[in-house]
Structure formats: C-alpha cells, structure tokens
C-alpha cells in the first residue's frame, strides 16, 4: 500500500528534531492516551469509550504513564500484582472497515527483582461484559520483567464482529514465576484494514541544505537505499550518503530550482526488517531559507541557504542572531549561497546554539521568511589528551574520512608550533606530533578544524584545551576556614574520585569526617570531628591523591598554626607588569611573565591566591611577599630563565596570555578580588610595540582605580623590567582629565555618553544642560564606570542636533573634566535617500607603504546613520562583490560633512598632514581597488540605491607626471558620478589629496543663464595654483545640441571640448590647459566658441575668453 506524506517546510525548524510538518493519509482509529485520564473505575470511563477496573493517579494498578509513550509522550500503564490483574474495556465502530484488525504497541519495564512476566489477553464481544474466548498476545515470554522496547502487535478481528460496534477487553495478568511482575505499557492502540501497513517508515524532516543537497530525516534507523530507489523529475540525482542510521542526504548534479518538489522513495527497509513500499514527499521550496550550519570554530559559523541569495539582502550582520547576539562581522562566499559569520560571543561545546535569520531574498529578488535553526554544538571528540611531550591524541566516536581535513589546519592558539601526524593510524583517531615538544604544565588550546566521518556526518570545528602533565600534585598551602575546617591548596586540579577519599588525609592520626573538592579542582575543604586550638601547630598529611593526568602523589605533609589570618585589601597586591607577547632574539627570555608588587605595609602570604586570564585560572603556592617587594610569576618549567632577574614563582597550568587583548585578575584565597588589569593592542601605543616583545608596565602603582593611561609599553632597552621598578614608573598624581569619547542615542528617550577614563561613582554632583532644552529624568553609571546613561522625560525628535554640556564630572582619581571637553552632541538620524551620501574622493594608487582611502560626502541637510553601509567593488562579470561593512555600530555623518574610510588612520594623516583625522574611520580591510583601473561601489544597507564609480588612471590631469599618491576628487556632488569630467586630480596645494575636508577642486554650479568660465585665468602646471578651469552652462530648456571648441588667437583649433552633445538645463565641462594631443598649450589668451542648436534648428553662437598662465621658475 502507498503511504503518502505531505511535507511543508516552515520558518522554525531544528537540526535535531522535527523540521517539517507531516501528515499521512491513514484512516485508522487510534488511541494515543495523550488526553488526561479521569480517575474513575469501570464502568465509568477514564477516556471516551475506555474504562478500567481500577484507575489510579499514581504508578499503580491502571494509570497514565507520563514519558513512557513511543516518542516520550504518554502511555497507558498497568502494574499487575498478586491481588490485582488489570482489565481495560473499550469499544469501536467497525462499520467503515472491510476487514479490520487491531494493532497496538507495547513494552515492559522492570519492576522489582522478581521474574514474573505480564501476560496479556484480548477478547471480543457484541456487548459489554459478554466476551468470547480470550486470545493471548504472544506467550508468557513476550512481556518479561525487564526493560524492553516498544513492539508492534497485530490481531485480526473475528468475522462475526465486522461492520458493527465491537467491545474489547484487554487483560494484563500477574504472570507465572517468583516475586514481582513486569510493569506493562500500551500505546497507539487502533483499528486498521488487514492489508494496511500500520507503522510505515516516515520522513520527519525534509529540507534543502543548499541548492544541491536534500536532507531527509526518518523516524527510525533505516538500511541505506540506492539511487535507483529515488524518483525525482529534475535535476538528476548524482550522489547519496547516510550521515547516521536515520538520515540521508541526496545530492543533485545541478541546482534544485524553486517550486513545489515531489520526490518518491520505494522499497525502503528499516533496520528492524519492516518494509515500506513507497513514500511520497512534497516539499515547498518556493522560498529561500537557511539550510545547513557548519561551525568552523567557536568564533566562526558558516551558514548555507536553500537557494542562491541576492547578495544585497544578506550582507548585513544585524540580519542574523547567534544565541540572541548580533555577529561582529560577515563575509559572503563566492558560491552565492553561503556566508561566514564572525561571532561576538564565543560558543561552548555541548551548548544549544540558536541561529536566527531575518527574511532574505533569493537571486530572483523573491523575499523568503524569517527562519531559525537549533543545534547542539558537538565536535565528535570522545577523548583528547597529551600522552607525552610529543604526542597529542584525539579519539572520535566514529570513523573519520581522513581526506576531509588537513593536518596543517590543526593549530595551537597563540603559538607557532605546527603538527605532523603518524601514517596508517586508526580511522577513529588523530595523533598529532608537534614540531617542538610541549612544555610541562602549560595550558595549550588546539584549534580543531571541521571534519567529516566516512559516512558523511559533519563534525564541527572547536577549541580544545590540554596540558602535558608528568608531575604529581603538591600540597602548597593550608588555609584556616573555621574552628573545624581547613582548606588544602594543591598545585593543580585533582581527580575528584581520589580527592574525596577520607582515608587519604590525617591530622594526628585522625581522618576528616568530610572531604569536598572545590570548584577550582585544586582545593579540598576538610572538616574534622574536633575543634582546633588557637595558636597550636598541626601537621596535615595527604597521600595517594591524583591529578587529572593520573599522576599520584606520595605522602604529602604541611605544618600550620591555627590562627586567623590578617585580611588583605583591594590592591594591596597589584599586577604591576605583564609580558603577553615575548619575542625571540630580545634581551629578556622568550617567556611570558606577570609581575606582582606588594604596595601594602604588611607581609602577605600568597598561598591560595589565584591568577586568571579570560580563559584559565591557576593557583599560586605558599610564598610570603614582603612590603614593597616584587615577585615574577612564570610557567613552572621556565623558572630558571627568570631567576637572574629577581624572585620567581613557577606556576603550573600557566594561563597563556592572549597577544591581542586579555583580562587578568588576582583573587585571594577567599575569592576576593585583589586586582585586575585589562589590555588591548592599543595599550602598547602602536603595532610595532605590540609585536615587538615589549612588556606592559603600570605607571603609578599607587592609583586605586584602573585607568587605561596608567598602563604603557616599557621604555627599558630590554623591553621589560621584571623584578625591578618599572621603566615608566611615575608616582606623580594622575592629572589627566576624562574626555568624552562619544554620545549615542539608544532609544527615543535615552542617550549614552562614553568617557576615556573610569568615572567617579558619585553622580549627584553632576550638572547637565541641553540645547534645545530636555528634561532629564535619571542618570545611571554603567558597571565598567566608563559610560553614563541619560534618560529623558520626553522623546527626542528626529533630525535635531542636541547639544549637551556636563560639568562637575570627575574620574575615579578625582580629575575634573575640562571646559573644552564638557560638550557633546547627539541626534536621531533621518532615513537616507538616493544621492544623499556620495563618493567624493578616492585614492586608489597610494604611495609605497601608504594606505588607500575612499571619502564620502553627505550633501543633504540630514543626519544619517552609516551603520551597515558598505564599500564594495565589481567582479569580472560586472556584479557587486567583496562587500565590506563600514560600521556595525552607529556611525552618524552630519549634514554637508565628510567621512574617510581607510586601513591606517595614523599613516594616512602622516602622508597628508592637512587631512582631518577626526573624520577618518579605520577598517581592517578595504575591497580591492587596483592601481590602474577599477570600481568603487557605495551601498546602503538594503542596497536600494548603489553608487558606482568606475575609475581609470587616465582620468588624472594629463600634465601629472607621477599619479602615485594623488587622489581623484569629485568636482560636483550633484553631477553624475560616472561623468569623467566630474573627476580631477587633487591639487599640489593640499598635498595631492584632501581627506576629510573640502576638495581642492570643486564646482558648485552657476546661477546665471548662459555660458560661464571660472576661473578666467588658470595655470595648468603650477603647484598650489588653480590648474583647471570649468566651463558651465545653464539654459531654460533641455534638449539643446551643443559643440564647444577652444581656439588660439590666430584662429587655429586647440581643443574640442564636446561635439553635438545633448544638454540638460545645466552642466559643466573642464579644460586642463592641454591641446588635442595632450600637450600643454602656450601661455596666452584663448577663445571658447559655443555653437548651440535648439529644437527648431536655430543656432546661437557664444564666445568667451580664457587666459592660460605659467609658473615662474
């Protein structure tokens, strides 16, 4: 019999679960026991037409069993005992059946230790209470007192009961044997035609992973089928693979076109032997949706769509959400159906990932629907560990396709170590051999690339931490917790099994009554059955405790005197210097270090202190740090290299510092924060310092708050001062006043103002005034104390530039904001229109080492937000490509102002000192803009009004000898961008480019009718002079035909500006002082003759003079 399934994809679906809405044309009567049972006894009904001899609300007698149904749903349960056999009564109208049968699903669960089965019988009758002979389902071994899976049981209805209402009694009896009997569960009890297949294989999800692959998920494990069992009209099936037992992926040789797809599978066989003759699948593929997800790393996700997309509709990162967060970046793939998202939050293995996408357009501009995908982030790795200093083993749950990845793709973060591998290794295992041995007790992070199993299952990329550890744990410190409790601090995390064995610990031959491993894994809280005596010395021992690598300790002991320790305050100990990116070849060792300084007046026991970065935490051993003393912390195996520089403490599980940015924290043994330090590449003061092996030093260690200006690159010739007074040390008071970084509207009545320094939490002294006037409701300080939130009573108005002035504001040190920094501006931007923001200047041929740039000009009177606007270029097919979002946060361009996009603001300012650096926006990359010719594309977020400037080196002034480092400037923002005469080389007077300010060459039009020349005197080859002249016209009607020529005073033709060109009502041309051969003309007077024909054939002639000058050497 043919089972037909309709499958509709809809916008919310899950990689793990049911992704499509399915229904089957099976006209059976089925009871699924999902409705709530009434707690009543026969003959009253607990469900319509169902009753039982004793219904309970608990798991006894006859009951409703939550979670025991076939798909984790509800079922009917019966617990027979020596004094109770279950009896269930029901009835069905069989008048619509030709030859009916009963089908039911049943299983058992073990109940107690007895061996009695449940025995099940069914009998039929024409009226309730009057039943024929009972028929046993199976035999006495069918439902044993064990955990069994659901099985299908079928029983034909005797002929005499056909075409009438039939009454059925189901008996569940206490079977033969000893002790307790099995617990019986019944689900999906129903009537079917005899020839009808009761439980065919079903497709529970069907979707296009991409335009070439169809994913199918079945309701049970199946035997792989062949391509010949697939019937699909077009395109042709080219491949087939089965990632897991209940999934299939069908590959097509060309794109699956949009529309309603119909596919048939024939003779499908389940692994339990059931055969389904035919399954029909109907899939709605008219709209584009998300298809597949590939996690390349915890920071990168590749997303595929079911159809080719329209690039403009998917190029904004804010159209996507990963666990609710907007990605920080987006890159479109060349295949036209996938893209890569850079995540703003790092993913964690085993967590559920929710990927959401707004509606996007396919390549035919048909808008899809919002969609989401849920998946659990797994990488398929079952075991991961270093078995030696030169072997890293990664075991997988399934056999790998060894050709699906490259060993070169396995990388250690923050390390230059590369890997090779062993030949002929197990397909479930990858063995990595490092190019240099692992250091002991250093935390490494391996970036694992995506891999595929031999069956085609995707294993996501991930980060995995590991430590090469051959050293047994050591007892480093004992902390007093209470009169009966002490805390043992170990050098590394322990195996929780051995850490919890009470006999492993003693004090005076007594064992503790409780041993609790702490969350850090490297501390054990011991509680004793006696009270410690103040001032008395004790010896605690620990024996045979193991670390996570299986290294066992011998007998460890530690003497301590019971007394309450002195309290350590905030910044008593400070993180005084760090070396996050050492460099080989420098004076200092090529080893990371952190320097601590005790600025308090007391000796401090560092035992139990914890040092952490953004990824890992390590414990400092028992060491006393005297007042005004320095100590160098470094990896335990590298202590000898720093010994000549001062006191050194080696730490196991060293928290490898990140090169680009990180956060360090220092806690005491009671988990109180003692100090913290944040750094970024900017903290070094330049990329040369960040990559040059310089340390970062605290300028003034006696400042009680964290100020970014208090952290600087070392000025020592050795590029660091471990164990010594910092080279940048200056205990002068911090007199730097806070400055306003930006003000941003976040809601119609809320504005944030961000400052350069941490602010004082005392906000009551602030005075804030606004123009136009605004009534301030509240002022709040952000947790990082860098931003204040201003809330207003009334809503802000669009397009109004509000000015705020704040007085009385101080940083955490007490410096008051200066008068010239008190003012800030904010606005609600207006919606842009075509032509509001235009390409105004381009430097595509930069000097050697210099950056290129693109300048935009807002020629409107509106404030416009450039968030998600894009720069791009054209590919070889003339299509927009290589989009670069210029800002993923608010970026307001004011009316009639400029913004410059470049890759190096500092270098651009040094190349063009007259440039306005405040208008420079630095991007990580620009699209490719070749030196000889290319295309600059400017796109609004929705790409509704793109502007394309196709440039060529020949557009430069013809007398320009060296175009390198010279920009092309737009003469008129209102004239077409593709008009060649609208672009001219930047003047030498401004340094050959004008980034961020008015172009050196501009044409603002003429209000006078007729033909105008401006200027009337120009010098083509003089630096700093006007080297072109503009010839503009303004007429009262469009459609005139014009020819403009330049003549010498002797009447000879010098240059034809245009010939028989159709005019609009206004326009302009330029003359650069050269003749038709590109040679500079002689100094003197020249005559412009304009012949203009109207629509009636009438001609008018205008003559104008212009003077060409020369530079005097």
Model pLDDT for residues 820-841, shown as the tens digit of each residue: 889 999 999 999 999 999 999 9
Please state, in angstroms and rounded to a whole number, the distance separating the CA atoms of residues 1002 and 999: 6
CATH number at residue 36: 2.60.120.260
CATH number at residue 550: 2.60.40.1220
- Please indicate, yes or no, if residue 18 is contained in any of the structural domains: no
- pLDDT at residue 425 tops 80: no
Percent of the chain with pLDDT over 70: 96
Range of the domain at 180: 29-192
Across the range 663-688, mean pLDDT stands at 88
Q: What b/e string do you get for 223-257 counting C-beta neighbours within 10 Å, with b at 16 or more?
A: eebeeeebebeeeebeebbbbeebbbbbebeeebe
Residues 857 and 988 in one domain: yes
Q: At which of 713, 732, 757 does a domain end?
A: 713
- DSSP H helices, 411-495, are none
Per-residue pLDDT tens for 861-906? Answer: 999 999 999 999 999 888 899 999 999 888 999 999 999 999 999 9
DSSP string, 727-781: TT---S---PPP-EEEEEEEETTEEEEEESSPBPS--TT-EEEEES---EEEEEE
- Please indicate, yes or no, if residue 17 is contained in any of the structural domains: no
Strands 237-241 and 230-232: unpaired
Q: In what order do the strands lie in the sheet with 411-412?
A: 411-412, 443-448, 462-467
DSSP string, 948-966: EEEEEGGGS-TT-S--TT-
DSSP string, 283-306: EE-SS--EEEEEEEETTEEEEEES
Q: Which residues contact 257 (CB under 8 A, 6 or more apart)?
A: 234, 235
Residues 449 and 554 in one domain: no
Residues 1093 and 957 in one domain: no
Please answer whether residues 337 and 210 qualify as being in contact, where contact means their C-beta atoms are separated by less than 8 angstroms.
yes
CATH number at residue 852: 2.60.40.1260
Residues 903 and 965 in one domain: yes
Residues 620 and 493 in one domain: no
- pLDDT at residue 7 tops 50: no
| Cα-based distances in Å from 465 to 79, 388, 397, 498 | 50, 15, 19, 23
Greater model confidence, 441 or 238: 238
- pLDDT at position 1113 is 56
- pLDDT at position 1112 is 66
Q: At which of 562, 597, 628 does a domain end?
A: 562
Q: At which of 562, 597, 630 does a domain end?
A: 562
Please state, in angstroms and rounded to a whole number, the distance separating the CA atoms of residues 106 and 186: 5
Strand partners, 303: 293, 339
Sign of dihedral through CA atoms 214, 220, 226, 232?
negative
- Please indicate, yes or no, if residue 19 is contained in any of the structural domains: no
Q: Please, what is the Cα angle at 670 between 665 and 672, to 5 degrees? A: 40
Residues 602 and 673 in one domain: yes
- Please indicate, yes or no, if residue 629 is contained in any of the structural domains: yes
- pLDDT at residue 666 tops 70: yes
Residues 69 and 172 in one domain: yes
- Please indicate, yes or no, if residue 209 is contained in any of the structural domains: yes
- Determine if the pTM surpasses 0.75: no
Residues 986 and 1085 in one domain: no
Please state, in angstroms and rounded to a whole number, the distance separating the CA atoms of residues 220 and 249: 15
- Please indicate, yes or no, if residue 804 is contained in any of the structural domains: yes
Across the range 677-683, mean pLDDT stands at 88
Residues 539 and 604 in one domain: no
Q: Which residues contact 897 (CB under 8 A, 6 or more apart)?
A: 857, 858, 919
- Please indicate, yes or no, if residue 594 is contained in any of the structural domains: yes
- Please indicate, yes or no, if residue 100 is contained in any of the structural domains: yes
Total number of domains in the chain: 9
Per-residue pLDDT tens for 189-206? Answer: 999 999 888 889 999 999
Using alpha carbons, select from 619, 618, 613, 539 the residue that is nearest to residue 580. 613
- pLDDT at position 8 is 30
Residues 460 and 497 in one domain: no
Q: Which residues contact 739 (CB under 8 A, 6 or more apart)?
A: 755, 756, 757, 817, 821
Mean pLDDT of the chain: 89
Residues 1051 and 945 in one domain: no
Greater model confidence, 794 or 21: 794
Residues 685 and 612 in one domain: yes
């Amino acid at each position: 019999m043919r089972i037909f399934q309709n499958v509709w994809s809809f916008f919310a679906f899950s990689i793990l679960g049911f992704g499509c809405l399915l229904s089957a044309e099976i006209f059976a009567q089925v009871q699924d026991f999902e409705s709530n049972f009434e707690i009543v006894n026969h003959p009253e009904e607990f469900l319509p037409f169902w009753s039982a001899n004793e219904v309970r609300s608990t798991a006894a007698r006859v009951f409703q069993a939550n979670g025991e149904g076939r798909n984790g749903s509800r079922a009917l349960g019966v617990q027979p005992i020596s004094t109770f056999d279950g009896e269930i009564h029901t009835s069905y109208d069989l008048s619509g059946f030709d030859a009916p049968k009963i089908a039911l699903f049943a299983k058992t669960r073990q109940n107690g230790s007895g061996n009695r089965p449940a025995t099940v019988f069914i009998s039929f009758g024409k009226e309730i209470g009057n039943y024929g002979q009972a028929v046993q389902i199976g035999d006495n071994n069918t439902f044993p007192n064990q955990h069994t899976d659901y099985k299908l049981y079928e029983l034909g209805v005797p002929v005499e009961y056909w075409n009438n209402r039939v009454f059925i009694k189901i008996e569940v009896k206490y079977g033969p044997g000893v002790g307790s009997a099995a617990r019986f569960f019944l689900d999906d009890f129903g009537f079917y035609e005899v020839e009808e297949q009761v439980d065919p294989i079903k497709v529970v999800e069907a979707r296009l992973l991409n335009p070439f692959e169809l994913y199918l998920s079945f309701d049970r494990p199946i035997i792989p089928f062949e391509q010949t069992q697939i019937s699909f009209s077009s395109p042709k099936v080219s491949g087939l693979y089965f990632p897991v037992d209940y999934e299939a992926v069908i590959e097509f040789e060309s794109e699956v076109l949009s529309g309603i797809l119909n596919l048939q599978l024939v003779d499908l066989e389940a692994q339990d032997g059931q055969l389904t003759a035919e399954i029909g699948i109907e899939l709605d593929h008219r709209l584009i949706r998300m298809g597949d997800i590939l996690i390349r790393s915890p920071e990168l996700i590749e997303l595929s769509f079911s159809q080719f997309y329209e690039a403009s509709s998917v190029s904004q990162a804010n159209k996507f959400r990963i666990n609710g967060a907007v990605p920080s970046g987006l890159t479109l793939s060349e295949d036209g159906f996938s893209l890569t998202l850079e995540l703003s939050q790092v993913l964690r293995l085993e967590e559920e990932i929710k990927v959401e996408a707004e509606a996007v357009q396919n390549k035919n501009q048909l808008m899809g629907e919002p969609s989401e995908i849920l998946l659990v982030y797994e990488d398929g790795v079952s075991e991961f560990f270093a078995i030696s200093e030169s072997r890293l083993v990664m075991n997988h749950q399934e056999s790998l396709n060894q050709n699906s990845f490259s060993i070169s793709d396995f990388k250690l973060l923050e390390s230059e170590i590369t890997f090779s591998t062993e030949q002929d290794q197990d397909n479930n295992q990858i063995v990595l051999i490092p190019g240099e041995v692992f250091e002991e007790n250093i935390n490494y992070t391996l970036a694992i690339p995506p891999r595929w199993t031999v069956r085609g299952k995707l294993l996501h990329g991930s980060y995995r931490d590991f430590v090469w550890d051959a050293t047994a744990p050591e007892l480093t410190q004992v902390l007093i917790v209470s009169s009966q409790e002490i805390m043992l601090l170990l050098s590394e995390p322990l195996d929780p099994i051995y850490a919890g064995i009470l006999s492993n610990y003693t004090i005076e031959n007594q064992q503790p009554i409780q041993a609790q491993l702490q969350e850090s894994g490297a501390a054990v809280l011991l509680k004793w059955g006696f009270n410690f005596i103040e001032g008395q010395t004790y010896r605690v021992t620990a024996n045979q405790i193991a670390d996570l690598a299986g290294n066992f300790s011998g007998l460890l002991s530690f003497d301590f005197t019971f007394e309450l320790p002195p309290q350590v305050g905030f910044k008593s100990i400070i993180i005084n210097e760090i070396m996050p990116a050492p460099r080989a070849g420098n004076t200092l060792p090529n080893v990371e270090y952190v320097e601590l300084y005790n600025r308090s007046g007391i000796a401090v026991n560092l035992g139990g202190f914890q040092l952490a970065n953004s990824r890992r935490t390590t414990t400092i051993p028992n060491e006393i740090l005297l007042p005004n003393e320095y100590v160098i912390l470094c990896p335990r195996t590298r202590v000898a290299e720093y010994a000549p520089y001062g006191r050194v403490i080696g730490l196991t599980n060293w928290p490898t510092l990140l090169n680009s940015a990180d956060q360090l924290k220092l806690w005491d043994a009671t988990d109180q924060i003692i100090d913290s330090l944040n750094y970024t590449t900017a903290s070094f003061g330049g990329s040369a310092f960040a990559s040059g092996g310089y340390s970062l030093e605290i300028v003034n260690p006696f400042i009680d708050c964290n100020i970014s200006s208090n952290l600087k690159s070392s000025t020592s010739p050795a590029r660091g001062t471990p164990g010594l007074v910092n080279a940048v040390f200056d205990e002068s008071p911090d007199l730097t006043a806070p400055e306003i970084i930006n003000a941003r509207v976040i809601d119609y009545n809320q504005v944030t103002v961000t400052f350069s320094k941490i602010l004082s939490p005392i906000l009551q002294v602030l005075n804030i005034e606004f123009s136009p006037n605004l009534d301030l409701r509240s002022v709040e300080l952000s947790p990082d104390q860098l931003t204040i939130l201003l809330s207003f009573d009334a809503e802000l108005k669009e397009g109004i530039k509000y000015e705020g002035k704040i007085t009385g504001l101080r940083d955490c040190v007490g410096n008051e904001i200066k008068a010239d920094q008190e003012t800030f501006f904010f606005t609600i931007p207006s919606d842009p229109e075509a032509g509001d923001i235009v390409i105004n200047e381009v430097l595509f041929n930069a000097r050697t080492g210099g950056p290129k740039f693109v300048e935009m000009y807002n020629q409107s009177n509106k404030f416009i937000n450039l968030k998600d606007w894009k720069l791009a270029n054209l590919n070889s097919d003339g299509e927009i490509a290589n989009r670069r979002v210029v800002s993923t946060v608010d970026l307001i361009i004011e009316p009639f102002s400029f913004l410059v996009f470049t890759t190096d603001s500092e270098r651009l300012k040094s190349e063009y000192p007259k440039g306005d650096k405040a208008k420079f926006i630095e991007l990580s990359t620009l699209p490719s803009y070749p030196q000889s010719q290319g295309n600059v594309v400017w796109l609004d977020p929705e790409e509704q009004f793109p502007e394309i400037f196709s440039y060529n080196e020949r557009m430069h002034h013809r007398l320009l000898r060296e175009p390198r480092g010279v920009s092309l400037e737009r003469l008129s923002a209102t004239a077409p961008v593709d008009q060649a005469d609208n672009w001219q080389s930047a003047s030498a007077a401004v340094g050959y480019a004008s980034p961020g300010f008015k172009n050196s060459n501009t044409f603002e039009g003429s209000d006078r009718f007729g033909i105008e020349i401006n200027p009337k005197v120009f010098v083509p080859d003089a630096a700093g002079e006007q080297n072109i002249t503009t010839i503009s016209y303004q007429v009262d009607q469009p459609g005139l035909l014009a020819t403009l020529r330049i003549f010498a005073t002797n009447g000879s033709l010098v240059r034809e500006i245009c010939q028989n060109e159709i005019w609009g009502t206004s326009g302009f041309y330029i003359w650069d002082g050269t003749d038709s051969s590109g040679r500079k003309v002689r100094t003197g007077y020249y005559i412009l003759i304009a012949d203009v024909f109207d629509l009636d054939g009438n001609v008018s002639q205008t003559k104008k003079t212009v003077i060409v000058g020369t530079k005097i050497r």
